Structure 1
Amino acid sequence: MKKLLLIYLLIITTGSFYAQNMSKRAFLTGDFNFTFGINENYTLFNDDDESFLKFSAVMFRVGAGYQFNSKWLASFNVGYDHHTRYSINAIPTYGTLRYNIAVDDFDAFFAEASYGKMWRPSSKYENGDYYKLGLGVQMGGSGRWHTLLKLDFHRKKIIGFKNNTLDSVSLGIGFIFL
């Protein structure tokens, strides 16, 4: 009986110790990304008021996911992309796997990868695949809202588009609600 009580006490103590360190929870996320492309009309050392970078796309994303522990998060996302340079609109739906490289309370430096399907609301181009790789910083806020700053590389596989891909690098600002 004493051995059984000792084992039971050990299991309870170990379980409560790990329960305090576990950070399993569901979350909501959203962000705006802005893409700038190189201006083809820009000439070096010419004072014609042309800027080197030109706004080329805006992307809006929302998602829901689950945090497995302090390092790994997974989410399902949907978004809307508008590429002004090519007059392309897209609706990506994708899954994201995020790994927190460094964590301090609710602050984190992370890398993430995404893969999914990109839907086109017009018949100008075909539907395609969507890929994303990125780095970001999560800054803990008061309460459950936290700010995200991200640098992402997006690849949209569009059949019929030149080289069948549309690549972009974007800067994003968003939130995560844990």
Structure 2
Amino acid sequence: MVKKLLFFALLYVGQSFAQDNLNRPFFTGSLNFSLGLNENYVLFEPDDDEYLIDFTGFFFRTGFGYEFQRKFAVSINAGYDYHSRYSVSAIPTYCSLKYNITEREDDAFFVEMSYGKMWRPSSRYPDGNYYGFGIGSQFSGENRWNLILKLDFHRKGIFGFENNRIDSLSFGLGFSFF
């Protein structure tokens, strides 16, 4: 018990002597595109209508969060996902935890994990869980606006699909506003 009190006392003293407060709220948004292998593509057979890589979906996300000491950030997010390959729409609501691996001024390279609930606008499939993991870079911009480039893995629990889920890898372009 004494060790815990000492730890928190040192943490408080360190915080109070810090030169500037780096905790700050933010708003974020992104648009992701998912690509996949075309199941109808046949290797070494010329066909003008088929490509090896095919567009499989897009995801729009927005959220509010709070960054702690420029290393950790927590956010609450919502979005709209559309998987064109399956004609499936979903509305994920989730919490994210972001950790900046490296930083230089306001630029950062980070990892992000997400967990939440995925809502289905139609009754064709039931609601399920949502999981996400991503890596990305944030580039500082003008007037507190930042550009974000991300690579995300998404898992949506939807019964009726292979292994009762849809997995996707997406490329994202987004922003944050501090």
TM-score (norm 1): 0.89
How do residues 80-91 of structure 1 correspond to structure 2 at under 5 angstroms?
80-91=80-91
Moved over 6 A (4+): none
Distance in 2 between the 1:19 and 1:62 partners?
A: 32
Q: What residue identity is the alignment partner of 1:25?
A: R
Question: Sequence identity of aligned pairs in percent?
Answer: 54
Q: What's 1:48 paired with? A: 47
Deviations 1:93-145 (A, max 9, x none): 00000000001111000000000000000001000000000000000111200
Distance in 2, matches of 1:15 and 1:155, equals 38
Residue deviations 1:61-93 (CA, integer Å, cap 9, x gap): 000000011100000000000111101000000
Match of 2:6 in 1: none
Aligned to 1:168: 168
Aligned to 2:10: none
Which residue is 1:101 aligned to?
Answer: 101
Does 1:57 find its partner at 2:73? no
The alignment's TM-score, normalised by the length of structure 2, stands at: 0.89
Give the distance between the partners of 1:19 and 1:26, measured in 2 at CA: 19
Contact 1:133 1:153 in 2 (8 A): yes
- State the SS of the aligned residue for 1:99: strand
Larger Rg, first or second structure (1 or 2): 1
- Unpaired runs of at least 5, structure 1: 1-13
SS at match of 1:163: helix
* Equivalence for 2:146: 146
CA distance in 1 between partners of 2:15 and 2:127 (Å): 48
